[in-house]
Structure 1
């Protein structure tokens, strides 16, 4: 065999070694490690659905969700099996704490109240936030919900300052004005059905736009619409696993649409930011303001590097507040209306209390603090 033959043999040998090493590495990550983890947890009494090669528990989750959504829902408080059928099923099967799998990654699900309390307190910082899936990162970026350490502390202080008691007092007139506009629309539809969830979606988007960002309803609506579409895409792909790095060579239609939505959201937020900055630059406004956007921009322009945040941080926090603020408030309002419609006795008691304290006057902070029945109702709903 000549020199050329030796080179070919060497190349094939190197390729064989590389492929063997890669195969061993893949099997170690996708099979050996999960099986070892599963056996280790089982030895401590923690059970769960068996690990499936590559997919973990994701196929079971998708099947359970599909089955749950195919069934009609009755007017009942028992929404757990409908919303999170996999957790409901596995808690009843394996106990309050169990092990499940997102692909080859182990998820230890804890539902015992005392353990949950300990984890949330996290005094010793023993429970760091896990890696955020790529799709969620598109929605939330690197804002307060995904960051940790000094960055989380800094952003938390900004949010706390923006929504202190004094600032919240100043938001009440804007909230009242938005609610009055909604009620006027309802009067025009008297005698006809109203899609309450959509109405509250419009209400919350308008209030957030006006109170937190000082922007118009249309500007806020555009961002909310894009965030809603992005959320739907994320939910649709949450349990669909993709091979690492494959997106560099081939992207699905959902991935392309998601990237376009992310760019659109960023551009819309940047337009609102530039308008606020322009007002300060031209002297139309003395400062960036005390609303949420103003607090973020003050930090972005801070001369102290330790207090300063990047423009990407500003955009990510805006996205987080838009989506988290609207979704949570919208869902709570819709659920409250549904429960009041079912339990008319609570509805009547709440109405009497509101009329007794406010009469025909507009709500104010002092009066709201005296609403005992409404507060009790809120505690029952959010418990």
Structure 2
């Protein structure tokens, strides 16, 4: 029976060793890190075993999601209530706990420049849970080190501006189809349109055509499945990952569909014997990957089919999700107004009374832009737009009509001359950035400004907080004012690094030029064809679901000019 004793002793020793590791990881190490920061004057919310502060964060976010906010761009208390509350208690530099991991908040542009650029090699991206990896695959977003550099080298040329300019006719075709549908709806008496859904379908169609050479209908299943993946992933940001069947089933089906697209392109290229896989983004990436393999003489210099699938997932997600919400916020901000609803016996007499493009507002006595909007099918209800931002809508429209005319679509040359439209898009991205924050992890012991941090410390770089900081942007930081970009991005704020909607440094979003080209073109075409105001049924409630989006959808009232 001696073997039983030793077997039992080995099991007990293993169990004790396991418990020691758990205690060290969950209690002893966090305690030492906490003391390390406190010795430098850096404090934060108290550490809680296992979950850290994640349950507190989830509770605060759920509280804010349950109610809308006033019509204001000061959405930090709603979107990041923990950052808003804790920075007031502990100061701008504080540490909170994501599970047993210390996370230092760094809301300073100069320090972010060090982290993401100057001392780039001292930091890495955070390890992601399996579901986050599923959303964008093992593409550029999740890769690090040599593998990231190899992918970036192959993909970068696909987003060169000269190549993107060749995609303008495709973007125009998809956009014209959408706007034609809107015109028919408006002329048939539709009172309002929910534009986020419309923009999601538009940008999905554009990315399907420009990246994969297929129509939106052919790729609809992939878009629908990735939308579900995004919702599931966003739920994990402030909690502990628990895998489930739905997650893995979605991933299997998405990869299967993408492999079919890639195989079809390889088959077509093989039949034509051209050596090229086409002029779309996927074809260019496949051709560039093949070329890199020949130049280096190594099979691992090119991308495998699985690696291409991972980059396709990034294309699908980044190529339509970020641009669709950017366009939605642009329309909301340009159409936002003080809703004054007056019931008139005679609608025509009301139009005569308020005729013209501007008048003295009864609320503040100032001259603002206004238009008369008929709601529904009756002449009795009148929505009078008293225009918080209507002046910028009119200025943008005048610029588009002066540069392009009413019947000519924008081209590469005219887009470069749409300065006001560019200023509007920049200001929308400042207030509602596509990337609300960046996460990094220290690979080695290092310093962030005056603060020494141990290896393994996580860093949260809150882009949205920097974009709303009055110390950087002035007292009107929470106002919509595209004029601040009139002299360019570098001079818009008190620090040249204060504006980073797509991140910064070597890992800045590779699709930035594509997103800006697409958004500018679509917005110009909308201004060219419509006037609009935000509907009184719109409820202002920014919500972070991987990207910052309107929680209840933006309802917009359009008028065909």
Cα offset, 1:69, TM superposition: 0.2
Aligned partner of residue 235 in structure 2, secondary structure: helix
Match of 2:322 among 320, 328, 341: 328
1:27 to 19, 23, 26: 23
1:382: which partner in 2?
Answer: 429
What SS class does the counterpart of residue 47 from structure 1 fall into?
A: coil
Residue 122 of structure 1, CA deviation: 3.8
Q: 1:73: Cα distance to partner?
A: 2.4
- 1:86-125 equivalences under 5 Å are 86-123=82-119, 125=121
Residues 79, 176 of structure 1: CA spacing in aligned structure 2 closer, same or farther, 3 A cutoff? same
1:51 positional shift: 1.0
* Aligned residue runs from structure 1 range 1-383, under 5 A: 4=1, 6-123=2-119, 125-190=121-186, 191-192=189-190, 193-241=192-240, 255-283=244-272, 287-301=276-290, 302-303=293-294, 304-305=297-298, 307-342=301-336, 343-359=389-405, 360-383=407-430
| SS at 1:107 equivalent | strand
> Is the CA contact (8 Å cut-off) linking 1:46 and 1:98 kept in structure 2?
yes
CA distance in 2, matches of 1:15, 1:151: 40
Over the aligned positions, Cα root-mean-square deviation in angstroms equals 1.8
* Displacement of 1:79: 1.5
Question: How far is 1:300 from its partner?
Answer: 4.5
Between 1 and 2, higher relative CO (CA 8 Å, sep ≥ 6) is seen in: 2
Q: Give the TM-score taking structure 2 as reference length.
A: 0.63
8 A contact 1:162–1:290 mirrored in 2: no
Residue 20 of structure 1 aligns to a residue in which SS?
A: helix
| Preserved contact between residue 48 and residue 100 of structure 1 (Cα < 8 Å) | yes
How far, CA to CA, are the matches of 2:164 and 2:10 in structure 1? 67
| Cα shift at 1:307 | 3.0
Deviations 1:219-268 (A, max 9, x none): 232211111101111122333325xxxx7xxx5xxx21010111111011
Higher strand fraction: Structure 1 or Structure 2?
Answer: 2
Q: Deviations over 1:327-365 (max 9, x none)?
A: 211111001000100210000010001001100211111
- Aligned to 1:316, what secondary structure does the other structure show? helix
C-alpha deviation, 1:74, in angstroms? 2.5
Q: What TM-score do the two structures reach when normalised by structure 1?
A: 0.91
CA–CA distance in 2 between the matches of 1:212 and 1:9? 65
Give how far 1:123 is off. Answer: 4.2
| Cα displacement (A) at 1:216 | 1.6
Matched-pair contact (CA < 8 Å) for 1:300–1:311: no
Relative to structure 1, is the Cα distance of residues 21 and 8 closer, same or farther in structure 2, using a 3 angstrom cutoff?
same
Contact 1:167 1:291 in 2 (8 A): no
Cα deviation code 1:14-65 (max 9, x no counterpart): 3332222221111011111111111111111221111100011110011011
Task: Name the CA distance, whole Å, in 1 between partners of 2:153 and 2:93.
Answer: 33
Q: How many pairs were matched up?
A: 369
2-structure distance, mates of 1:285, 1:268: 25
- 1:138-161 CA-partner distances (Å, limit 9, x unpaired): 112211111122222222223321
Q: 1:67 to 1:182 in 2, by over 3 A?
A: same
Whole-angstrom distance in 1 between the partners of 2:150 and 2:5: 59
| Cα drift, residue 286 of structure 1 | 5.5
State the secondary structure of the residue aligned to 1:237: coil
Listed as ranges, the gaps of 5+ residues in structure 2 are: 337-388, 431-561
The offset of 1:299, in angstroms, is 4.2
Counterparts of 1:218 and 1:198, CA distance in 2: 15
Q: Is the 8 A contact 2:106 2:112 kept in 1?
A: yes
Name the CA distance, whole Å, in 1 between partners of 2:124 and 2:118: 9
Distance 1:341 1:194 in 2: 13
Structure 1 Cα separation of the partners of residues 426 and 238 of structure 2: 33
1:182 Cα deviation after fit? 0.5
C-alpha distance in structure 2 between counterparts of 1:350 and 1:284, whole Å: 48
